[in-house]
């Protein structure tokens, strides 16, 4: 179930997939992030790097009593400080989603599925 709002002009519904796609787009612009990863690790412990139109597969959206929670599955580049990248992802995603959707996001959980050497 996504975000639902009723205005004087009618009912507005934003799907969880739309929220996930928006979050995936924000994540992909963060420093140190190579891209979104699939939630499920493929055989041999290798995570699948998702293309732009499949970002929703790397995001889980949950509605709780306090607000919304997100689980983000990412792949980062080799040589960056993991804790800094994760903190930046959390801050950017929370800010953009709350500003864009006017909804509280209480938790942004980030799972690093892999590290990719670029070069």
User: Residue 111: pLDDT above 90?
Assistant: yes
User: Residue 16: pLDDT above 80?
Assistant: yes
Q: Which domain holds residue 66?
A: 3-116
CATH code of 12's domain: 3.30.70.1350
- Give 75: exposed, middle or buried? Use CB within 10 Å, 0-12, 13-18, 19+: buried
pLDDT recorded at residue 91: 96
Both structure tokens of 56: 């929703």
Higher pLDDT, 38 or 93: 93
Closest CA to 109 of 78, 68, 81, 80: 68
User: Residue 6: pLDDT above 70?
Assistant: yes
E strand map for 1-119: 3-7, 10-14, 33-36, 59-63, 68-77, 105-116
Sign for the CA dihedral angle at 102, 30, 111, 53 comes to positive
pLDDT recorded at residue 79: 92
Both structure tokens of 54: 């499949």
Number of folded domains that form the chain: 1
Task: Please give the average per-residue pLDDT across 108-116, as a whole number.
Answer: 92
């Amino acid at each position: 179930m996504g975000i639902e709002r009723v205005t004087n002009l009618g009912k507005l519904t934003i799907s969880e997939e739309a929220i996930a796609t928006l979050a995936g787009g924000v994540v992909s612009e963060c420093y140190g992030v190579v891209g979104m990863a699939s939630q499920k690790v493929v055989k041999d412990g290798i995570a699948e790097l998702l293309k732009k139109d499949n970002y929703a597969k790397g995001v889980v959206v949950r509605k709780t009593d306090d607000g919304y929670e997100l689980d983000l599955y990412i792949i980062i580049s080799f040589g960056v400080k993991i804790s800094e990248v994760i903190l930046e992802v959390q801050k950017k995603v929370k800010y953009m989603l709350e500003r864009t959707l006017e909804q509280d996001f209480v938790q942004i959980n980030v799972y690093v599925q892999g590290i990719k050497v670029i070069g």
